[in-house]
Homo-oligomer: A and B are copies of this chain.
Amino acid sequence: MKTAIIGYGVVGSGVYEILKANAGGIARRAGKSIEIKYILDIRDFPDHPESGLFVKDYSVILNDPEVEAVVETMGGVRFAYDYTREALLRGKSVVTSNKELVAEHGHEFFALAREHNCRYLYEASVGGGIPLIRPLARCLAANEIESVAGIINGTTNFILTKMYRENQSFETALKTAQELGYAEKDPSADVEGRDVCRKIAILASLCLGKRVRCEDIPTEGIGSVSVEDVSYAEALGCSVKLIGRAVFKNGRAGVSVEPMLVPKACPLAGVEDVFNAVAVKGNMVGDCMFMGRGAGKLPTASAVVADLIDVAVRGGYSDEFSWEDCGSAVFDPAETESQFFVRVAPAGEKAAAERFPDAELIRGVSDLGFVTDTMSETALKARLAGMDGVVSHMRIYR
């Protein structure tokens, strides 16, 4: 099978490396060899061992009937959207690591793939190399999925781990992450939760079969998490984790991105550094967890290549990883019940004791906090309305 890589950055070059390094095993499992016929990039790579593969004109790839599959590792939406569309229109399958594109336009591409009997696959878009999309769609197919929740951003998990293990402030931990290459110069997409938002939108859409829009997902990052939050967490036997979660009920999803307190007894609490993990609850299988490296050149590229092998094994359209855009598919995640941890300034102690008479107060360095009963966030906000000295509240994962 001939393929073309479009976008020769970190992931694209990883795909090249894997197809070379593991060629024998890949051909055995794919039933045929997978050959790179073109690489498209605006830059020149004169020292590349196969510099003859590079092209700058996409139409060369589109018009070559030998190319059955296109690897889209460009990232971004602007060019990748047109490039993906044009490939699918010609019946060429597209495999991608581009989470933004999948979250925003996946539904259009599935429809095009169906029409032109090819495939649009995106295993690499969530959780890097961790098998997630196939296990959710195929292995747990006997289940109604009740919830999907995960640590799906390595940068923020690294920062939170540093804050917890080494007592670093958010700013210092972010700087460390940048120095190690785990965070970008502009870290806002990670830190503000937009990256997690796209990924949980993909997982929720897949489980539901209906598009969940990023704009329908209340998204909170970790910028407001302080060292004091982390030490409260410790006192409660919890870790602070940035959790993307979708809870399913009556054909709708309550989806959110927010820092949560994860009790240590829960396997997600022990997922540290740049590791990612996703916990799935099925109505028959109960709890499952998938864990591994959620980013990085070769892990991500290995998921892209798994999709390529899938195309080689069966290139024609298949419905199993798709969703449609049916308008709103969500309910307000503030309706999902949990316990919450509430922080109040010393001045609010009396009011807290009055409004939450059963709660035990925990004293921190600068203020105090308590754990509520199980209730919705809507109910919590009503209870807190007008109360003096409320500093913050955080959901407790379960």
Contacts and interface: CB of A to CB of B under 8 A. Distances in A.
B292 A22 contact: no
A298 B319 contact: no
Nearest to A14: B284
A297 to B, nearest CB: 9
A285 B267 contact: no
Contacts of A123: 139
A130 B309 contact: no
Contacts of A305: 141-142, 284
B284 A319 contact: no
Contacts of A139: 123, 131, 134-135, 303, 306
Given A139-B306, A143-B22, A270-B267, A299 B284 contact: yes
Nearest to A287: B292
Contact of A292 (B142, B286, B296, B304): B286
Interface stretch (A23-31, A222-230, A231-239): A23-31
Contact of A22 (B130, B271, B284, B298): B284
Given A270-B270, A282-B302, A292-B288, A22 B138 contact: no
Contacts of A137: 29
Nearest to A308: B142
| Copies of the chain in the assembly | 2
B286 A140 contact: no
Interface in A91-144: 123, 128-131, 134-135, 137-144
Contacts of A25: 143-144
B302 A143 contact: yes
A131 B26 contact: no
Interface in A273-324: 282-293, 296, 298-299, 301-306, 308-310, 313-314, 318-320
Nearest to A280: B292
A216 to B, nearest CB: 23
Given A22-B142, A22-B144, A130-B288, 6 more contacts: A26-B141, A131-B135, A131-B140, A138-B309, A140-B306, A285-B303
A322 to B, nearest CB: 11
A291 B135 CA distance: 12
